[in-house]
Amino acid sequence: MSACIWDSVNKVSGMNHFLLAQKKYGLTSSVLMTDEGRYGVHAMDSLINKIINLGGNRKYLKAKALGGGNVLLNPDRRHSSDLTIGAVNATFIRNYLTENGIPLVSHHLGGDIGRMIYFDTCDYSVYVKKVDIKKQSELVQKEREYYHQRLVDDD
């Protein structure tokens, strides 16, 4: 999940990336129960604070949100009512921006594809390149390995 945020009046912008909205990815989990630097709430707060520290003004901020693809979607869960990490991330980013009064001017969220994001800080345009299926399969395998290692590390 990525957010591109800018203040076109003061010409300050930035982009972030996060993998998880929060440590436990259910919508009922507290956003405050996250580790700093790894999760959406910190990535968003950090980006906005950096833009303001560089001369941006909160009242001029605008955003584009991209990602939230369900690239780890298990075929057996396609009809499950469980929320996927991508869906939770997309919900998180929309809610965060709304709660902070930052207009979401465009988005490319959801689906079952990976994305490479290019943010042009001169004109605030965003280019999205879909990750091809072969590379996506490799990424899925690496993410599964990481997820299983995290389960072991958390025990």
pLDDT digits (tens, 9 = 90+) for 102-116: 999 999 998 878 888
At 92, the pLDDT band (50, 70, 90 cuts) reads very high
For residues 134 and 71, the answer to whether their CB atoms sit within 8 Å is no
With respect to residue 115, please indicate whether it lies within any of the assigned structural domains.
Answer: yes
d(CA 153, CA 155): 6
At 39, the pLDDT band (50, 70, 90 cuts) reads confident
Residue 108 CB neighbour total at 10 angstroms: 18
With respect to residue 63, please indicate whether it lies within any of the assigned structural domains.
Answer: yes
- What b/e sequence results for 33-63 when a residue is b if at least 16 CB atoms lie within 10 Å of its CB, and e otherwise? ebeeeebbbbbbeebbeebeeeebeeeebbb
With respect to residue 145, please indicate whether it lies within any of the assigned structural domains.
Answer: no
Model-wide pTM > 0.95: no
Strand pairing class (115-120; 125-130): antiparallel
Q: Report the SS3 class of residue 36.
A: coil
Could you identify the residue written with the tokens 């990602």? 67
Residue that wins the pLDDT comparison between 89 and 13: 13
With respect to residue 152, please indicate whether it lies within any of the assigned structural domains.
Answer: no
With respect to residue 107, please indicate whether it lies within any of the assigned structural domains.
Answer: yes
**pLDDT reading at 23 higher than 70:** no
The closest alpha carbon to 13, from 22, 4, 2, 26, belongs to 4
With respect to residue 119, please indicate whether it lies within any of the assigned structural domains.
Answer: yes
pLDDT in tens, 128-138: 988 766 676 77
Q: Report the SS3 class of residue 29.
A: coil
Q: Say which CATH number the domain at 47 has.
A: 3.30.1330.200
**pLDDT reading at 28 higher than 60:** no
User: How many domains is the chain partitioned into structurally?
Assistant: 1
List phi, psi (to 5°) of 119: -110, 120
With respect to residue 138, please indicate whether it lies within any of the assigned structural domains.
Answer: no
Residue that wins the pLDDT comparison between 117 and 80: 117
At 30, the pLDDT band (50, 70, 90 cuts) reads very low
Full domain range(s) for residue 100:
2-130
Residue 105 has what pLDDT? 97
